[in-house]
Amino acid sequence: MSSETEVVTYEVRGPVAVITMNRPDFRNAQNSKMTYALDAAFVRAVEDAEVKVIVLAGNGKHFSAGHDIGTPGRDHDVRYENKAALWWDHVDRAGGDQRFARETEVYLGMCRRWREIPKPTIAMVQGACIAGGLMLAWVCDLIVCSDDAFFSDPVVRMGIPGVEYFAHPWVMGPRAAKEFLFTGDRFGASQAKEWGMVNRVVPRDDLEGETIALAEKIATMPQFGLALTKKAVNQAEDLMGMRAGMDSVFGLHHFAHAHNAEVGADSLGGMNAKTMKGAATEQNGSK
C-alpha cells in the first residue's frame, strides 16, 4: 500500500515547507515509523535555508486519530535509530523501564523538540484531532482548522490523566482542560476557538489556501527575528509553568500506566482503538 511506504511526505512551496502525515487509511494514526519520519522532515525543513515557515498537515479526511494503538502497522516493538538520545532504547527493556524509555523518546521528548524548532510552524487541521493528534497540533506555533475539525483527549477512559504532552491547562485554560478531560467528549472547531486553542476556523474548502496564505505572510518577516520571537513566547509559556508542569504530570501519567499494568490487562487499562472509538460513539451518539 503506497500510504504505508511513505508515511510522511515533504514538499516545498516557495518559502513554505509542507510536511504531511500520510496514513489516510488509518486516519493518520501515528506509529513509530511516522514519528521518526516526522522528525526527519522537521530537521530537513530547519536545515533548508529557503524554508521560512513549516506547515504540518494530515492527508485525507482527518488530521490525526492519535497514537497507533491498533493498526496493522503498529510498531511499538521495533527499534528505530534513537537520534535524540533522550533515553536508552525501549525495545529490550521491560515494564516501567520500557514504557518510560519509549514515551520519553517518542512522545514527550519528540514533541518538545518539535515545539522548539527555530522556524514558525502551523498545524493545518481537519476532521479528527484526537489524543496523540492533539500533541502534534499543540507543538505547532499556530493552529488553523476547518469548520469540520473536532478535538478530544479520551485517555482518562484508560485511567490515565491525559496524553503525554500535557499542555491542556496552558493551551485552553484550566477550567476548559478539566471539562475536556473529565468528559472525554469531542469538541468542535468553534468551541476550540472560543477557548483560544486555535487561531482560525475556516471553511473546509478554504483550509489549505488560508493556511498557506498565512504561512506566506509570516515568511516575509526576517528569519532570525521570527526565531527569536518564537523563543521569546515559548520562554514566557515555560515561565507560566508549562515545562515544569508537564514534567510533573509525566510522572502521574506513568504511575497510571503502571497501576493499569499492576491490576489489569495491560498499561492501557485493557482499552484498544476499537473500544476507545466505541466509547466515544456511545458518549456522543455520533460516528
- State in angstroms the smallest separation of the CB of 250 from Zn ion: 9
Residue with Cβ nearer Zn ion (11 or 97):
97
Residue with Cβ nearer Zn ion (209 or 251):
251
Residue with Cβ nearer Zn ion (102 or 186):
102
- State in angstroms the smallest separation of the CB of 63 from Zn ion: 20
Assigned C-alpha cell, 18: 509542507
Assigned C-alpha cell, 52: 521560512
- State in angstroms the smallest separation of the CB of 24 from Zn ion: 25
| Residues 34-73 as x/- pattern, contact with Zn ion by CB under 5 A | ----------------------------------------
Q: What is the spatial distance between Cα 153 and Cα 183, in angstroms, rounded to a whole number?
A: 9
Q: What is the spatial distance between Cα 197 and Cα 177, in angstroms, rounded to a whole number?
A: 11
Within 13 Å, how many C-alpha atoms sit on residue 287's CB side?
0
- For residue 261, give Cα distances in angstroms to 9, 95, 239, 270: 36, 8, 35, 9
Residue 42 neighbours by CB under 8 Å, 6+ apart: 19, 54, 113, 114, 117
Size of the site for Zn ion (CB under 5 A): 1
- State in angstroms the smallest separation of the CB of 41 from Zn ion: 24
Residue with Cβ nearer Zn ion (68 or 103):
103
Q: Which run of H or E residues covers position 235?
A: helix 223-239
Classify residue 20 by its DSSP letter.
Answer: E
- State in angstroms the smallest separation of the CB of 273 from Zn ion: 15
Residue with Cβ nearer Zn ion (103 or 153):
103
| Residues 72-111 as x/- pattern, contact with Zn ion by CB under 5 A | -------------------------------x--------
Residues that bind Zn ion (CB under 5 A): 103
